[in-house]
Amino acid sequence: MDDKIKKALDHQKPFNLSLLNLNQGELYRSLNPVKSTQMFTGANYQLHPEGLWSNEIFGAMGSPERMTKQAYIDLNVEIIHPVVYRELISSSSLLEEIMDGVTFAKWNPETKFFDKSNALDGETGYDFFMQHLDELVMPETNSPKRKELNELLKKHRRIYKLDKFIVLQAGYRDVEFKEGMVDHDEINQIYRELISLANSLSSVSTKMNLSAVNSTRNAIQKTALKLYMYLGEITGHGKKKLIQGKWASRTVANGTANVITAVKPSGRFLNDKANIGFNDTMVGLFQQLVGCLPFSVRGIKNSFLAEKFVSPLEPVRLVNKKTLKSEEVNLSQQWHDLFQSDEGIKKLIQRFRPTSVRHNPVEVDGRYLALIYKGEDGTFKILNGIEELPKDKSRDLVTPLTFIELLYITTIHLIDNAPSSIVRYPITGIESNVPSFAKVMTTTKAEKRRMLNDDWEIDETVEPFYQFPINGVDTITSLCPPLASLGGQGGDRKCKSLILKHFFTTFLFFKSCKTCSISRFNTYQVPIN
C-alpha cells in the first residue's frame, strides 16, 4: 500500500454504515462517459470532446453547467467500493497481499475467511479474492470496528461492487492557461490514470478471466482508492481543500480573516472612548487598512503627503538623515506613484504587512519622509525638518516618522469604528454572523494624543488619537471579537479564526475630517419613504 494512503487510513474516523450506492443504473443513464486521457484534439487547442475537460460533456467553459454536470469512467471490470476496500485492507494485511498477488491462500468455507498457504496448494490474485468476497466474514475480535465491518459487508453486499466511477464537475478542476502554460489540478492526473487502466481492458479479456488481467484490475482498485482519498481531502477535511478553495475560501468583498485572541481593555476611565464596547471588535491596524482599503487609500493620498508630492516635476521636501534638516529633492515618477497613486498606496500598505518593519522610519531615496514631535503633554506634530521645531520645545522629543505612525495618523479617523460583521464559515445559524464595530488597535500598549496646529496649539477641530502607537511596543496582529459572540461562533472550543467583513451603506453620513482633508463615511439610518 502507498505510504501516503496508509498514513491517511490510520487517521480515518470509523466509517459510516450508510454506504453511497454508486451502481445506480438511472444515475449513469443521465451521464456521459469520459473515454480519453487527451486534453486537446489536433493542433488548435480544442478541448477533446471525450476528455476530462470536454465542452460537450461538461458544458462550455465559464458556463453554469460546468459547475453542475458530472460524468463517469467505465472501468470495464468490477472492483470493490473504495470505502469497503479501504476498511478491508486496513483491517487485514492478508487480504491486500492476496489481491496484490504476493501471498498465496486457501479459502476456508467454515470460517468464511482465507488461510495462508503456499504456491502449490493455494491461490492468489485479485480475481481469486473476488470469487469469495460475497461470502467473506472477517474473524471476530474485540474490536468494535471489526464488528461494524462485518455489518457493513452483510448490509451492503448488493452495492459494494462497482464497474463505473463518477467524475467530478469540470468547473472544480478546470484547465487554466497561465503565461502560455497549461495548468490544472492534480486530481485530473488521477482520473487519467484510471481511464488509461480501464481502456487497457476489453470486455473480451475480462470475460476470459485471464490471470494477466489481475494486475491491471488491482491497479484500477488502488487508483480508485487513491482518487477517493484525494476527493476526501479536497472536500474539506484534508490539506488540499479544492472544493473549499472554490467556495468557502472565495474572496469576500471588504473581508479579512485573522486568528482570534482575548480582548485586552485599554481605557483608563469609564467614559474613555478607548474603552471596549459590548459590540466592538478589536482589530489590528494592518487588517483594518486592508479591510477598509478604499478609505485607507483616500486617507493616505489626501493627507499631508499631498502637499509634499505635488508633481513629479516639483522637488519634494525630505529630511536629511544626519542633520535632520529639510532639503528639496527631485524624485522619480516611481516615488510619486508610491505616495500619490491608488496602486502605489496599495503597495505601500502591503509593505506594512511584516511586523519587523512597522516601527522603522519611513525613508524616501535615502532620506526620512518626515519627523514627528511627541510632547510629554500627549500632543504631536509632523515636521518637514528640525528647523520647524520652536526653541522652547525639546529636540529630544523629535524622532523620524515611523511606518505605523504614518499610516495611523493619515487613516484612523476614516477607518476606526467601521461598521462590520464577524463571520464564521460555514454559516450554521444566526450566531455565525454577528454585526459589530471594528475598533483599531495599534500596539499592545498605546496612548492618547492630540494633534497640534500651525500655532503649536491643540487643534480642536481634529478628534483625539486614542490608539497612538508607542515605538518599540509589539503591534496587534490578531482579531479580538466581542466576548458575547465567542460561544455562538465556536471561539470557546475549536474556532481559531474569523472573517471580519466591512460593509459600506448606500446612505451615508458625511463627517468632516481635517486630518485627511476628506469626509468620513459613517453608517447612518435613513428612512426610505
Query: DSSP for 93-150?
Result: HHHHHHHHTSS-EEEETTTTEEEE--TTT-B-SHHHHHHTGGG--PPP-S-HHHHHHH
Following CA atoms 519, 523, 527, 529 in sequence, which dihedral angle do they give, to the nearest 10 degrees?
70
Contact indicator for 473, 445 with CB cutoff of 8 Å: yes
d(CA 383, CA 399): 10
Contact indicator for 33, 54 with CB cutoff of 8 Å: no
Host H or E run for residue 408: helix 403-415
State residue 154's pLDDT score. Answer: 81
Pairing of the two strands 508-513 and 518-523? antiparallel
State residue 49's pLDDT score. Answer: 92
Sequence-separated (6 or more) residues with CB below 8 Å from residue 368: 318, 319, 320, 321, 324, 361, 362, 400, 401
State residue 84's pLDDT score. Answer: 87
Cell triple for residue 521?
463615511
Cell triple for residue 168?
467530478
Contact indicator for 412, 440 with CB cutoff of 8 Å: yes
* Amino acid (1-letter code) at residue 431: E
Cell triple for residue 366?
535615502
Question: Within its chain, how far is the Cα of 167 from the centroid?
Answer: 25
Reading the chain (529 residues) residue by residue, the pLDDT tens digits are: 555 555 554 444 444 434 555 555 556 777 899 999 998 886 566 889 999 999 999 998 878 888 888 899 999 999 998 888 988 998 899 999 999 999 999 999 999 999 999 999 999 999 999 999 999 999 888 878 788 888 878 877 777 888 999 898 888 888 776 655 677 778 899 999 999 999 988 655 555 556 668 899 999 999 999 988 887 765 544 444 444 444 444 445 556 777 777 766 555 555 666 677 778 888 999 999 988 888 899 899 999 999 999 988 899 999 999 999 999 999 999 899 999 998 899 999 999 989 999 999 999 999 999 999 999 999 999 999 999 999 999 999 999 999 999 999 999 999 998 888 877 766 667 777 788 888 999 999 999 999 999 999 999 999 999 999 999 999 998 888 877 676 666 655 444 566 676 654 322 333 333 343 333 333 333 232 2
Contact indicator for 77, 163 with CB cutoff of 8 Å: yes
Cα R_g (the chain), whole angstroms: 33
Give yes or no for a cis peptide into 312 (omega within 30° of 0): no
In the chain the first and final C-alpha atoms are separated, in Å, by 69
Question: Within its chain, how far is the Cα of 308 from the centroid?
Answer: 39
Residue with cell 471579537: 481
Q: Is 361 left (phi over 0), alpha (psi -120 to 50) or beta?
A: beta
d(CA 405, CA 303): 13
State residue 239's pLDDT score. Answer: 45
Helix, strand, coil percentages, rounded to 5, for the chain: 35, 25, 45
How many CA atoms does the CB half-sphere of 426 hold within 13 Å?
Answer: 5
Contact indicator for 266, 274 with CB cutoff of 8 Å: yes
Q: Smallest Cα–Cα separation from 296: which of 469, 499, 497, 440?
A: 440
From residue 508, alpha-carbon distances to 169, 374, 417 in Å are 43, 34, 15
* Phi–psi pair at 122, nearest 5 degrees: -105, 180
Provide the b/e sequence for 242-274 (b: ≥16 CB within 10 Å): bbbebeeeeeeebbbebebeebeebeeeeeeeb
Q: Is the dihedral of CA 28, 24, 237, 195 positive or negative?
A: negative
Sequence-separated (6 or more) residues with CB below 8 Å from residue 515: 299, 303, 409, 410, 412, 413, 451, 462
State residue 274's pLDDT score. Answer: 65
* Phi–psi pair at 243, nearest 5 degrees: -65, -45
Residue with cell 480508485: 224
Question: Within its chain, how far is the Cα of 303 from the centroid?
Answer: 34
State residue 14's pLDDT score. Answer: 40
Sequence-separated (6 or more) residues with CB below 8 Å from residue 163: 23, 74, 75, 76, 77, 78, 79
State residue 424's pLDDT score. Answer: 72
Domains in the chain: boundaries: 3-92+138-246, 255-523
Secondary structure class of 463 (helix, strand, coil): coil
The crossing angle, in degrees rounded to 10, of helices 333-340 and 293-301 is: 130
Contact indicator for 95, 107 with CB cutoff of 8 Å: no
Host H or E run for residue 326: strand 326-329
pTM for this structure?
0.52
d(CA 129, CA 205): 18
Secondary structure class of 19 (helix, strand, coil): coil
